[in-house]
Structure 1
Amino acid sequence: MEKELLLECQRNDRNAQRKVYEKMAGKLYSVCKRYLKNDEDIEEVLADTFYKIFTKLDQLQNHDIFEAWAKKIAVNECLQKLRSTKSLHISLDENFIESPDSKVENLSFEKDILKLLNFLPEGCRAIFNLFAIEGYPHKEIATMLSISEGTSKSQLNFARKKLQELLVNHNI
């Protein structure tokens, strides 16, 4: 993101904010989609994310890391939404997997994996996303979700096992 554009956003230039929104909305929507199922929740979190981005942009000291900073805000907003709706439960039920409504064989591999994440319990999916996709260590995940480090590790293993089963069962 160009430094000048971000400086204009800090000065509340609506055109600059629109340009930043247009450049970042798709990326941040994808991040939110990994954590949330409901489109209304995703749109709400996306709006909250952009509000925080534009109101806290003056706190960003290095404009070179803007995209990573914005992505972290989106992840935190998703986790806050999951906690507020109490849907962030940690499931230890080894048999829990929703059955896919439609065949996923026709999707690309990356889309297959992302689609299969929707069949994991919310808590497992959040931990898998934070660890495998976002790169957070278990200690930080445990702090973010108010769980033990061991719970984070066991839920990641549970998520991996279930994803492998889904991949095998659907010949992906």
Structure 2
Amino acid sequence: MERELLIECQRNSRSAQRKVYEKMAGRLHSVCRRYLKNDEDIEEVLADAFYKIFTNITQLRNLDTFEGWAKKIAVNECLQKLRAAKAQFVSMDDSFAESSGTLSESISFEKDILSLLNFLPEGCRAIFNLFAIEGYPHKEIATMLSISEGTSKSQLNFARKKLQELLVNQNI
């Protein structure tokens, strides 16, 4: 991200904010899609994230970290949405209930994997994203989601097993 553009955002320039939004919206939308299924929820979270980004950008001391900082805000907004909706974590004894719809065989491997995440329950999906994609340790995930560290580990294990099953069943 261009340093001058971010400085203008810190000065509350609406045109600079629009440019930053246009450059970052797609990336942050992709981040939100990994946590949330519903397009309305994603748009709501994205709007909240950009509001926080633009109202708190003056607190950002190192503008070189802007993109990571903005991504972290988006992830935290997604987690807040999941907590508010009381995302359900699955019991290891529960049978796996798939989402409605079919998986597309014609999309790329990466998109296949990301689309498979939509077939996981919200709680599992959030933990998988935080651990495997974002790189958070289980202790921090447990704190972020107000669950035990053991629950974080078991949900990750469940998500991995289900993703493997889906991969085998879809011949990906």
Determine the structure 1 residue equivalent to 2:133: 133
* One-letter identity of the residue aligned with 1:150: G
Pairing 1:33–2:36 present:
no
Pairing 1:119–2:90 present:
no
**SS at the partner of 2:37?**
coil
User: Partners in 2 of 1:99 and 1:17 — Cα distance?
Assistant: 37
Contact 1:94 1:158 survives alignment (8 Å):
no
Determine the structure 1 residue equivalent to 2:163: 163
Determine the structure 2 residue equivalent to 1:74: 74
Contact 1:31 1:74 survives alignment (8 Å):
yes
**SS at the partner of 1:43?**
helix
Determine the structure 2 residue equivalent to 1:90: 89
User: Partners in 2 of 1:155 and 1:37 — Cα distance?
Assistant: 18
Contact 1:127 1:152 survives alignment (8 Å):
yes
User: Partners in 2 of 1:74 and 1:28 — Cα distance?
Assistant: 7
Determine the structure 2 residue equivalent to 1:42: 42
Runs of 4+ residues over 6 Å off in structure 1: none
**SS at the partner of 1:116?**
helix
Considering only aligned residues, what root-mean-square deviation do their CA atoms show, in Å? 1.1
Contact 2:99 2:118 survives alignment (8 Å):
no
Contact 1:98 1:119 survives alignment (8 Å):
yes
What is the CA deviation profile of residues 24-47 of structure 1, one whole-angstrom value per residue up to 9, with x for unaligned ones?
000000000000000000000000
* One-letter identity of the residue aligned with 1:129: N
Matched length: 171
Contact 2:53 2:73 survives alignment (8 Å):
yes
With over 3 angstroms needed to count, the CA separation of the structure-2 counterparts of 1:170 and 1:99, relative to structure 1, is: farther
TM score, norm. by length of structure 2: 0.96
* One-letter identity of the residue aligned with 1:91: V
**SS at the partner of 1:98?**
coil
Q: CA deviation at 1:102?
A: 2.0
Determine the structure 1 residue equivalent to 2:151: 151
Show the 5 A alignment for 1:90-109. Answer: 90-92=89-91, 93-99=93-99, 101-109=101-109
**SS at the partner of 1:159?**
helix
Consecutive unaligned residues of structure 1, counting only runs of 5 or more, are none
User: Partners in 1 of 2:105 and 2:148 — Cα distance?
Assistant: 36
* One-letter identity of the residue aligned with 1:70: A
Q: CA deviation at 1:103?
A: 3.6
User: Partners in 2 of 1:33 and 1:110 — Cα distance?
Assistant: 14
Consecutive unaligned residues of structure 2, counting only runs of 5 or more, are none
